[in-house]
Structure 1
Amino acid sequence: MRYFFVLLCIVLGLTAYRAGVVLTNGLPLYVDEAQYWFWAQNLAWGYYSKPPMIAAVIAATTAVCGDAEPCVRAGSLIFYPLSTFILFFLTRRLFDEKTAFIAGLIFITLPAVGLSSLLISTDVLLFFFWTLALFAFVRVLNSAAWLDWILLGVALGLGLLTKYTMGIFFLSAAVYLLLSGRWQVFISLRAWVAVLIAAVIFSPNGWWNWQHDFPTVQHTAEISHLEQAGLHWRSLAEFFGGQFGVFGLVFFPVLLSLFLRFQRLQQLPQAGLLLSFSLPFLLIISLQALLGTANANWAAPSYVAATVLVAAGLVRWQQQRLLILGLMVNIALFMGLYHYQSLAHGLGVELTAKNDLYKRMRGWDEIGQQYLALQANYPQALPLAEERSVMSELTYYARPAGLNIVSWNPEHQLRHHYDLVTSLTGRVGQEFLFVSTGRLPAEMADYFEATEQVGELRAAIYADYQLVYPVYRLQNFKGLNPQ
C-alpha cells in the first residue's frame, strides 16, 4: 500500500491547501451556489433545475459548521478526495498500484477538479457516484457478489438523484457488455435487482416531477436549445475547446491520440471497458453541442475512465516526461485560478470586467447589506424580484425573515425555482420592495395603489463594471386581476 499512502498524503495536503484558499479568497457565492443553499433550507425530492442531492449535501455541511460560504462549499473538499481514493482502487483492480497512483494524481490535479474544489456544484457529486458505480461495475464483472450488485444499484440511484446524465452509465455498460460478449449479464437476476434498487432510489424524484408537471425535464430541454434548427458548429467548437480546460492542455491531446490510434490502444488491457465509459458520454454531449448547446463541464464524468486510460497508456509506454509535463501544466492552471487576483496585482495588470474571471461573483455581499439597511425602513414590506440571480443572491446575503422572498410572476410562468415555490396569490394589500434590474415595468403600476423608487443598490466592482439595482416600494397589492 506504499503508493496509496503517498497518494493519501498528497491528496490530504492538496485538500488542506484548497481549504485554505476557500477560507481566505473572500469570494461571494455564485448565483447557482446561492440557489442551492436556498434549496437546502427547504429539502424536497426535487427542484426546478436539478434533482435533490446537491441540496442534501449542502444541508449536511451547513448543519455542521454554519451557513458561511466555506461551509456551503465544503462538500467539494470532501467528495473530490473520496472520488480520488475510489479511482485508485478501481485502477489498481484493472492494472496495478503504480498505474492507480498516477490515475489518482491526474484526477485530483485536473483543471476542472481544481476550479470546482473552490465551489459547490452537481459535478462534484456526479464525479463521486459515477466513480463509485464504475468501481462496483468492475467488481461485479469478476465476482458477481450480491453486495457488489447492491453497491452498483445504490451508486446509480444516488447518481440519478444528483444529475440525470448519470443515466448515460446504463448506455456505457450496455455498450461494453455487448462488445465484450457478456450477454448473460442482461438476463442476470442480480443485474436486474441492481437496476430495481436504482429505480427505487430515484423514484421519489420521478414522483416529485410528476406532481409538478416535470419542471426539471422542461428546464433540461430549455438549456440544451435542441429546438434550434440546423447544425451549430461554433457551439461544438466551443465545447471541444473547453475540454482542454476540463482535462488539461496536455492530457486531453494524449486522450485524443489514444482514441485515434486504435490499434495501439488495443494493446492496453481493459481498453474496451475504459472506452465504453468515456467515449460515448463525450460523443453524446458533443452531439448535443452540435445540435444546440452544451457547457464544457457537461461531459465531466467521461474523464473518470479517461483518467484511467491516460494513466495506463503513460505507464505502458513509459512516458514519464509527458506525465510530469501534464501534471505541472494542470497544477499551474488551477493555482493560477486560485491566486488570479494576486498574480494580476504582482504583474501590474489592473483587473477589469474584461479580464476578471470572478467578476460575476463579486459585490453581492455588499448588495445584500444595502438591501437590509433599506428594508429596515419598511419592515412590513416583502422582497420582490423577477430575476433568478437577484432572488438567489438576496436570499443568501440579505436573509429576509423566513427567507420570504416572492417572485413577480403575475402570468404564472415557470422560469425558475422561485416561480415554482412562491406565489402572489392571497397577498392582496401586501406591501413589497421590488428589486429591479432597471426601470419599473409600466404595467406593474396597475397592480398597486402606489409605486415609488426608494433607493438603489449599487456595488462598484471596477471602473467599467458595477452592480446597480433600483428598489421600488409597491404599496397595497390589488391582486392578480386589478380593476
Structure 2
Amino acid sequence: MARRPGLWAWTIITVSLAVRLWFVASGQLDLVQDEAQYWDWSRRLQWSYYSKGPLIAWVIGFWTHLFGSTELGVRMGAVVNATVAQIMLWYGVSRLMGRPRLAVLSLAVANTMPLFLAAGVLMTTDNILLVCWLGGLLCLYALTRPASAPGASRALPLFLLGACMAAGNLAKYMMLAQFAVAVPYFWLLHRQRLLPPRVAVQALAAMSAGAVIGYLPILIWNMQNDWVGVLHVTTLAGVTGTAGKSLIRLDTVPEFLGAQFGVATPWWMLLMLFAGWRAARLAWRGLGATNAEDAAPAARVRQAALLACAFWPLWLAMFLWSFHTRIYANWPGMSYVGGIILAAAGLERLLAGFGSYRARRLALLWPALGLILFFAVFGQNALPLPPEFNPAARLKGWADLGNKLETLSRDLSNPDKVFYFGEGYDVTAELAFYAPGQPIAYSADFGRRRSQYDLWPGPDEQGDNRIGWDAIYVNTKDHTPRQLYAMFDSVTVFPYQSTHRGKPGRKFTIALLRNFNGYWPHSAHARY
C-alpha cells in the first residue's frame, strides 16, 4: 500500500463500483420507502417538497429518463454519487493533504461502514448531501493552504465552495451545518497564525451566497404552501410539537448512542473518537513551531483543525440534543465524512507501530471485520438467516406485493377503474412504484402525520375524481381502519405474507374495496 497507493485506491473504487452496480441491477433489494417517495416526487417536479428540497427529485428524474422508472433508474444516481465521492476523497486526502496512504485507508473505512455502504446504493438525500459536504470540506482546506504564488487567485475554490453549499441546501437543510465547521476551523487557524488574510471573510461570504441561492426556491415554495416544510422540520427537531414538550429526556440518549455505534460500527467509532480527540488537541496546542510558515507542521495543524471541526461540532450537537428529543440515526451522518478520515488516521497510527503488539494486531482485525461486513451487506440474500434475525427482511416484499395487487385488481369488476392507497407516505409511495402500471397512489389521513401527499389532490377532488371506482388498501399493520366502511360499499380484508427471492418478506394487510362513495377522511388537527 505504501509503494503503490494509487493502485490500491483505484482497485477499491472500481471493485466497490462493480459490486454496487451488480447489487442494484440484479434486484437484490426492493426500493425502500424514502426512495419510492422521492421517485414519486420526480414524476411531479416542483421547486421544493414537504420534507426536503427539490434536488433529490431532479436527480432521480434525470436518471429515470435514461434508464426508465426501474430500481436501476432510481438508484443509478446513488451508485454514481458514491463513486464520485470516493474519487473526491482520494484526490482530497492524497493530493490536497499530501497523504496518499491515509487516502487509501479512508477509502477502506468508507467502504466498510454501514452508513456509507447504504448511501452507496440507496437513492436518498444523504447520498447527494455527502458529495456536497465532502466538496465543501475540501474547498475549505484548499482555501486555507498557502498560496502557490504571491497574489494567486482563490476564485475557483471559492466558487466551488458556494456551489457545494447551494447544491447541498437544495438536497437537505443539514448542509447549513457546514457553517458550524467553517467558523471554528477559521478560528483555530487564526489562533495558530495559519489563516491566510481575508480567506475567512471570502469563504463565509461564498457560503452565505450559496445558502441564499440554494434556499430561495425552497423559501418561495414554503411561502406558497403555508410553511409546511418549516413546520415539519421544526417538529421533527423537537423545536415545536409534541416531540419538544420535555426539556430534558434520558430515554433518547441510549438510543442515539446505540444507533451511532451501529451505523459507524463500534471499531470505527472508537477510532474516530480516539483520533478526533488527538486532532482537536493538536489543533488547539499546535506543534510549538517558532516559524508559522514552516510547511510540514503547519500542514499537520491545518489538517487536524479541519478534521476535528468536521467531526466534533455536529456530532456533539446531536448528542446534546438527544437529551431533548429523539435523534434519527442519520442526522449526525455528515460528521462521519470527517470521521472516516479520522478513523483512517487512527488506523494508520496503529499500523505504523503505535501502542502494544496486541493493539497492532487488533488494528489488522478491524479492516477484516469491515470486509466481512461489506460482503454481508451486499450478499445478504445468500445469508442463511431466519427472517426475524435479518434486518433487511422488513424492507423486502414490495415487488411481490405488486404482483399480488395485479392479480387482485383483475378480479374486480372493472380492472381499469381501480385505485390504490395506504395511510402513511411510505406505503403510498411503494404502491405508486410497485402497483400495476405505476399509478397515482393516495394517502388517506386516518390521524397520521402530514406528508407531501396531503398537498396533492385526493381521489375525491376534481381532476382526480374516483367516485364509483373500486380500490385496494394496503397496510403494514395488523388492523383495518374503521373509516374504510364509511368510504366503500363493501370491505374484504385479509393478510398477505410477501416473499423476496423465495424467502419471507414483509407482512401486509390488504383490503379489497368496492364502489368508492366520495368520502375521503381528513384529520381535523394537522400533525407535522
Smaller-chain TM-score range?
0.7 to 0.9
Is the CA contact 1:382–1:433 (under 8 Å) kept in the aligned structure 2?
A: yes
Corresponding residue for residue 10 of structure 1: 12
Corresponding residue for residue 174 of structure 2: 165
Corresponding residue for residue 466 of structure 1: 507
After superposition, residues 327-342 of structure 1 pair within 5 angstroms as 327-342=367-382
Corresponding residue for residue 296 of structure 2: none
After superposition, residues 102-251 of structure 1 pair within 5 angstroms as 102-142=105-145, 143=147, 145-181=154-190, 182=195, 185=198, 188-189=201-202, 191-225=204-238, 226-251=243-268
Is the CA contact 1:434–1:474 (under 8 Å) kept in the aligned structure 2?
A: no
TM-score (norm 1): 0.87
TM-score (norm 2): 0.80
- CA pair 430-305 structure 1, distance change in 2 beyond 3 A: same
1:306 aligns with 2:308: no
Corresponding residue for residue 359 of structure 1: 393
Is the CA contact 1:18–1:117 (under 8 Å) kept in the aligned structure 2?
A: yes
Corresponding residue for residue 526 of structure 2: none
- CA pair 457-258 structure 1, distance change in 2 beyond 3 A: same
1:67 aligns with 2:69: yes
Cα deviation, residue 219, structure 1: 2.3
- The count of residues paired between Structure 1 and Structure 2 equals 471
Give the Cα separation in 2 of the matches to 1:10 and 1:115: 17
Corresponding residue for residue 323 of structure 2: 290
Give the Cα separation in 1 of the matches to 2:281 and 2:203: 35
Give the Cα separation in 2 of the matches to 1:247 and 1:13: 21
After superposition, residues 401-440 of structure 1 pair within 5 angstroms as 403-409=439-445, 415-423=450-458, 424-426=460-462, 427=465, 429-437=467-475
Cα deviation, residue 187, structure 1: 7.2
Cα deviation, residue 410, structure 1: 9.0
Give the Cα separation in 2 of the matches to 1:463 and 1:258: 43
1:453 aligns with 2:491: yes
Cα deviation, residue 236, structure 1: 1.7
Give the Cα separation in 1 of the matches to 2:46 and 2:468: 28
Give the Cα separation in 2 of the matches to 1:273 and 1:235: 30
Is the CA contact 1:281–1:302 (under 8 Å) kept in the aligned structure 2?
A: yes
- CA pair 397-112 structure 1, distance change in 2 beyond 3 A: same
- CA pair 30-190 structure 1, distance change in 2 beyond 3 A: closer
What letter is aligned with 2:219? G
Is the CA contact 2:252–2:323 (under 8 Å) kept in the aligned structure 1?
A: yes
Task: Name the SS for the 1:290 alignment partner.
Answer: coil
CA deviations over 1:318-370 (Å, ceiling 9, x no partner) = 256555332222121232222234222xxxx5x13x21212222222122222
Give the Cα separation in 2 of the matches to 1:55 and 1:428: 27
Show structure 1 runs of 5+ residues with no match: none
Indicate the larger mover: 218-227 or 12-21.
Answer: 218-227
- CA pair 250-432 structure 1, distance change in 2 beyond 3 A: same
CA deviations over 1:77-98 (Å, ceiling 9, x no partner) = 2111211121222223224222
What letter is aligned with 1:121? T
Is the CA contact 1:439–1:470 (under 8 Å) kept in the aligned structure 2?
A: no
Corresponding residue for residue 44 of structure 1: 46
Task: Name the SS for the 1:28 alignment partner.
Answer: coil
Is the CA contact 1:77–1:117 (under 8 Å) kept in the aligned structure 2?
A: yes
Give the Cα separation in 2 of the matches to 1:248 and 1:443: 44
Cα deviation, residue 116, structure 1: 3.1
Indicate the larger mover: 149-158 or 24-33.
Answer: 24-33
- Give 1:256's match in structure 2, choosing from 266, 273, 276: 273
- CA pair 315-10 structure 1, distance change in 2 beyond 3 A: same
- CA pair 137-471 structure 1, distance change in 2 beyond 3 A: same
Give the Cα separation in 2 of the matches to 1:464 and 1:380: 29
Is the CA contact 1:457–1:471 (under 8 Å) kept in the aligned structure 2?
A: no
Corresponding residue for residue 79 of structure 2: 77
- CA pair 429-152 structure 1, distance change in 2 beyond 3 A: same
Cα deviation, residue 293, structure 1: 0.8
CA deviations over 1:423-467 (Å, ceiling 9, x no partner) = 333338443415053666445555x5x510256572345789632
Corresponding residue for residue 373 of structure 1: 407
What letter is aligned with 2:236? I
Task: Name the SS for the 1:291 alignment partner.
Answer: coil
- CA pair 309-224 structure 1, distance change in 2 beyond 3 A: same
Cα deviation, residue 149, structure 1: 0.5
Cα deviation, residue 44, structure 1: 1.6
Task: Percent identity, please.
Answer: 24
Task: Name the SS for the 2:69 alignment partner.
Answer: coil
Show structure 2 runs of 5+ residues with no match: 148-152, 288-299, 354-359, 523-528
Give the Cα separation in 1 of the matches to 2:255 and 2:519: 48
Corresponding residue for residue 398 of structure 1: 435
